[in-house]
Chains A and B, each alone.
Chain A
Amino acid sequence: MTESHDMTKTLTGERSRDALVIGGGVAGMQAALDIASQGFKVYLVEKSPSIGGRMAQLDKTFPTLDCSACILTPRLSEVSRHPDIELLAYSEVKDVKGEEGNFRVQVLRKTRKVHVDKCTACGNCLSVCPVEVPNEFDGNLGFRKAIYMPFPQATPAVMTIDADTCIDCNRCAKECDRGAIDYTLTDETVELHVGAIILATGYRLFDVAKYPRLGYNRYQNVINALEYERLINAAGPTMGHLLRMSDGKAPKKIGFIQCVGARDIQKGVPLCSRICCMYGIKNAVMAKEHDPEAEVTIYYLDIRAFGKGFEEFYEMARTRFGVKFVRGRVGDVNEDAATENLIVRVENTETGTVEDVVHDMIILSPGVQPPIDLSEMVGNMGVHVDTDGYVEVEDVLLAPVDTKIPGIYVCGCAEGPRDIPDSVAAGSAAAMRAAITLVKGDDKN
């Protein structure tokens, strides 16, 4: 991996044998590794300061309950060490021109105000920075400084100054023995010449605050699934202890509400997000692992356990871990002001009764949506999005990673909601299609 600033090429008119992958999540990393391992150069552009994507934020994966970071970290390392992958983290694609085999891409390299070749991520600067802000990586529940690394295994392992919150006190620069911090550094734009492009821009979570009746933003003990993931993670803000934000007590009666922002036409999200059932069950199992005495309930519409080992995992949650499943859409969540406990009103469609159930903590499982700027970004390339906002493919059955623009491919959740194994598989598939383009030119001939 290199992070050099001199990558402009001037091969006007020539076909390029280099590839560009946009998005450094698990799908994008797989695509980059598979192309680079065939001997092609790959530029991997990632918007945030580190690659790793959403998977880096997860505690465990379903259905195996493997530690997410344990699987991901070697992959981060592999990308960072690969001689044919040039990582452009903290960068954004601004413009794409050209055609298959000969794309010209403008990439904005946002400044970290840190010389990446000098910073060793020693962390001395952190102790002197006086600015505390919410850590996005911890779902805004944890803390970071204005100079920060999103998580300990961040790749590249360099500090970044958040220009929005930095107060220019210069303490970090004075503390840095290596002279890595430089406030005079500015953004720059570089041009890449590539033959194929892979879109791996991932997803965003549905904003569960759009359901005010479920209490998010109104009650402190209603959180979303990503915040929950960070709370139960040993490297998270509470060092793996599940606590209520209102009083620091461990919840004993926990409720998970499924399909929040999925399969709901009125909210403009008719699509099933595919992953919520299983991550909801996984989170419920983890609640029981943390505290076997806790009462854990999942409120669901359907359980869609469609993948290998998923049905067995669901059964295990029910029978071995004792997770209670209640079929029915939750009407509303209200708070008992004295105890800050939450009262869930639900119609149990299996018994036909309306029940009020008290919980200490409620976790909303949001559906997934395409990134907010996806339509605009891919529109600049001539690529269209479908009615749900995901990248439209040439043929969902026979060309599921080809966009309608030759030379541009898509993988992971940029094309639609999918889990980690499916995202990795799509990353490899897109890499193969891109490699054919790079080797043979127009692969449709």
Chain B
Amino acid sequence: MLEDAFLSEQVLSEEVGKEATRRGFGDALLELGAMNRNVWGLGADLTGSTQAKLFADAYPDRFVEVGVAEQNMAGIAAGLALEGKIPFMASFACFSPGRNWDQIRVSIAYTEANVKIAASHTGLEVGGDGASHQALEDMAMMRALPNFVVLAPCDYLETKKAVFAAAKHRGPVYIRFAREKTPAFTTEKTPFEIGKAVELTSGDDVAVVACGTMVHLALQAADILERSGVGVRVIDMHTVKPLDEAALERAAGECGCVVTVEEHQINGGLGGSVAEALGQLRPVPLEIVGVHDTFGESGKVAELWQKYGLTKEAIGLAVRRAISRKEAGAGKRAA
């Protein structure tokens, strides 16, 4: 399963390179700055942390430091967009969209302003800062807004591609990424198109649909399951909205059961989207792996993932449950 050109040869090796997805944002924004004079950056006193500083230092006349004022940042970004600029406003997800959702809703979404919201430090990976700073609700908030595209890229390279695609897309885009250095396992050849899921492995006993940093965890789980004879189709659902319903329906049809994995609340995020889609298109047993309606806490990332159920073992168990539900259903139908 791992020879696929979409994946680095080291994907599951200890040798796999690591880089933070936020760095992918910073590097891509810097490149965009050179490519397109209409690209602007905005920061809210977290310019270093979000990596927007790379752009800010290179293009100071196109960078707006607003101070700790995320609501103002959203409005200024809308104003810039309505003047034909392509503003990327960067902060932590707990503040943007956490603090400024109303401004995003009216000044950006309702207006269809061409604003890109870059949200760093999502999930539990904020680690020691604790629950207040661990954004686990942002996809639910952003997915509910009309006109928005919601992206959750899985590694450094895919984040770069997502940022380039966001700049090209006409309309508001939300991109979430994370703080920690995580495996960089996709390749230049891995395709990226907004709204088009990437099938990373091709098993047909179960489909594991993941986004963000959980995609690598899903691949690790798939590797273990594969060895015990379970064929896993790992789908990188980097676009949470609009969801690639065709890929989902096909996976549900061919695999017969689905597991979703996200570093987000189980309510309203990737699992919620997949449940909504499959419930209407092709109901099959579905298991949702994510944070179970609770806040996080301080700790090391590995400890937090362990405590809050984001592990390859948890994915493996969810896969077993999904498959046994599928088989029980098939048994019932047979009887």
Chains A and B form a bound pair: no
Q: Which residues of A contact B (CB under 8 A)?
A: none
Q: Which residues of B contact A (CB under 8 A)?
A: none
